[in-house]
Structure 1
Amino acid sequence: MSLKEQLKSDLKDAMRSKEIVKRDSIRAINTMIKQIEVDERKDLNDEDVIKLIQKGIKQREEAAIQYKNANRDDLVAVEQEQIDIFKAYLPQQLSDAELEAGMKELISEVGATSIKEMGKVMGTASKKFAGVADGKRISEMVKKLLA
């Protein structure tokens, strides 16, 4: 079952069980998918949908920070619930140990020895770890290993 089919099925289940936050979160994901499909006139695959979900998570994390700064804990809680629902549709994330082991292997393949070669490593790492590790985590790990 594709990710889009899974989202449609889960949306129906959320509507039946009256899970409002889950329903609204899935609708937000579906809206992002539809917008890209209509604007670019292409059918999105699972990899594209995962990128959209990651983008949605990042937007909600930024919104949560803004709400926290404005002392709106009620809205922070709603954003956090949506983030948790969005994360449920992402592939299993790598642990720090798994990411570090993979990055060490990648750095030796690329032949990078200093922080000046971070760009070369990041280009390859972003593709290799797409979906299973956040770009920020990848960047921090590269800095740590090349420093």
Structure 2
Amino acid sequence: MNLFDRVSSDIKNAMLAKDKVRLEALRGIKKEFLEAKTAKGSDGELSDDTALKILAKMVKQRKESAQIYTEQNRPDLAEPELAEAKVIEEYLPKQMTETELEAELKVIIAEVGATSAKEMGKVMGIASKKLAGRADGKAISAKVKELLA
């Protein structure tokens, strides 16, 4: 079962369970998936890779919104954003720990042969493709910068 079908099935389950937060998050996911399927230049299909990128983007948006709401002392608005982010994260692959990320990046740096911060672009290009969905771009960037320094 691909991600689109899984989300559609889970929407039905959330409706039956009367889980409003989960239902809202799942409907948001399905909306984004449908938009990607029908976007100009799309072949009408949604690969799981594309779906994972959409999900990662959605989680990032929710967390950034929650952070802004928290900074503005609006926990009433931040909590639903974090709850939705948590639901969306269930569909993403397990995130890498910092030590796993560091180990992967060391291998990539060795493959590329990077020795200085000037070569960060080469490493980031490969790392962001290889670790897509399993690690946040900011975390990858920070760790690469640290390892090349």
Q: Structure 1 length normalisation: TM-score?
A: 0.96
* 1:60 matches 2:62: yes
- Identity within the alignment, %: 46
Letter of the structure 2 residue corresponding to residue 12 of structure 1: K
Question: For residue 142 of structure 1, what is the aligned residue in structure 2?
Answer: 144
Q: How many residues align?
A: 147
> Superposed, which structure 2 residues align to 1:89-104 within 5 Å?
89-104=91-106
Residues in 1 aligned to 2:63 and 2:15: alpha-carbon distance in whole angstroms: 25
Letter of the structure 2 residue corresponding to residue 22 of structure 1: R
Letter of the structure 2 residue corresponding to residue 59 of structure 1: Q
Q: Which runs of 5+ in 1 are unaligned?
A: none
Residues in 1 aligned to 2:28 and 2:101: alpha-carbon distance in whole angstroms: 30
* 1:38 matches 2:38: yes
Question: For residue 115 of structure 2, what is the aligned residue in structure 1?
Answer: 113
Which stretch has the larger CA shift, 56-65 or 103-112?
Answer: 56-65
* CA shift digits 1:39-80 (9 cap, x unpaired): 233311111011001111111112112211222111111001
Question: For residue 17 of structure 2, what is the aligned residue in structure 1?
Answer: 17
| Cα shift at 1:9 | 1.1
| Cα shift at 1:104 | 0.5
Residues in 2 aligned to 1:104 and 1:76: alpha-carbon distance in whole angstroms: 36
* 1:133 matches 2:117: no
Letter of the structure 2 residue corresponding to residue 56 of structure 1: M
Letter of the structure 2 residue corresponding to residue 109 of structure 1: E
* 1:26 matches 2:26: yes
Q: Structure 1 stretches (4+) deviating beyond 4 angstroms?
A: none
Q: Which runs of 5+ in 2 are unaligned?
A: none
Letter of the structure 1 residue corresponding to residue 28 of structure 2: A
Residues in 2 aligned to 1:64 and 1:131: alpha-carbon distance in whole angstroms: 20
Letter of the structure 2 residue corresponding to residue 35 of structure 1: E
| Cα shift at 1:145 | 0.5
Letter of the structure 1 residue corresponding to residue 87 of structure 2: I
